[in-house]
Amino acid sequence: MKILAYSQRPDEARPFEHFCREFGLELNALTEPPTPLTIPRAEGFPAVSIITTPLNGEFLRDFYEMGVRFISTRSIGYDHIDTSAAKALGIRIGNVSYSPDTVANYAVMFMLMSIRKVKAIVRLAQSQDYSLAGVRGREMRNLTIGIAGTGRIGRRVIGNLTGFGCKILAFDKYESEEIRAFAEYVSWEELISRSDLISLHMPAAQDNYHIVNAESIARMKDGIYIINTARGSLIDTEAFLDAVESGKIGGAALDVVEDEQGLYYNNLRGQVIPNRALAVLRSYPNVIITPHTAFYTDQAVSDMVENSLRSCIAFMKGEDNPWEIKLA
């Protein structure tokens, strides 16, 4: 069997080589993403592996004409793929799973950095201002932490938090019995009104688009901390900016933002970035911004490559595929 992989990064080369050898696959790897110039390279490959490249209906039709019937994205999220167009064409879609520790640990790090005002402390120290004014933090054990989304990552975050002695609330459409021993499940409305800090761990979906908006923020506690290591579309950026500037939001840490596509993972040094909100967010002393890197560990990269290849193999063999998305 042979596999075509697009957008292979240098750090993925060794895992691809290792797992293709282990699985007996012939690898054809491109460093370029799918484009009108590179999609013809997929001819003869029933399954291809991509990563976060937006695939609209036109791109998917081009893939279909090349004989592609399965696309695996080396990411948990798959909102960059027009799944309606894929279903109409008969192209099946898969995502991957990877170690939940990578994002879960990052989220807890974000919580600690936010409540201890690390960004402000570092900025002041860089200018040799070692005074204590304005940098007093808070302790986790005195906070109520709201975890929105209790999938694999959200559950691991809750597990990490149990050692801090904080009160933990949880919200999810599908509640987990194992979590009830560590957290209290509540409605979204109750979670936002009772929490001192809210950490988002939901996938992007129509029913949670801008779930953090002007109305929900108004119902949160004054000085609320917000952590987002999930998807930028969960937060209404304009409402968020207003709330930071008014003081309603006391601190935040965002690994994802709206309209990040085309910015993150590229070296844009010296360029004017067409995302005004991102520039404003970066300017706030109480908002930490990182470029969608919460996932990025050696274990996660290995898992993403391995599971994308396993998913393609399962499709080509007609076997059960735990990573295939059930398209609505």
Asked whether 97 and 152 are in contact (CB, 8 A), the reply is: yes
Residue 260 annotated in active site: yes
Name the active-site residue from 92, 292, 306, 310: 292
Whats the size of the chain, residue-wise?
Answer: 328
Name the active-site residue from 12, 92, 258, 260: 260
- Return all residues near 199 (Cβ < 8 A) that are at least 6 apart: 107, 110, 111, 145, 146, 147, 148, 157, 226, 227, 228, 229
CA dihedral 284, 285, 291, 294 (to 10 degrees): -130
Torsions phi, psi of 4, nearest 5? -110, 125
Whole-angstrom distance, CA of residue 296 vs CA of residue 180: 30
Name the active-site residue from 74, 156, 201, 231: 231
Whole-angstrom distance, CA of residue 241 vs CA of residue 284: 10
Q: Cα 68 to the chain's mean position, in Å?
A: 27
- Return all residues near 132 (Cβ < 8 A) that are at least 6 apart: none
- Return all residues near 269 (Cβ < 8 A) that are at least 6 apart: none
Whole-angstrom distance, CA of residue 170 vs CA of residue 152: 13
Paired with 251 in beta bridges are: 225
Torsions phi, psi of 294, nearest 5? -60, -30
Beta strand 26-29 with 184-185 is: unpaired
Residue 324 annotated in active site: no
Residue 65 annotated in active site: no
Q: Which residues are catalytic?
A: 231, 260, 292
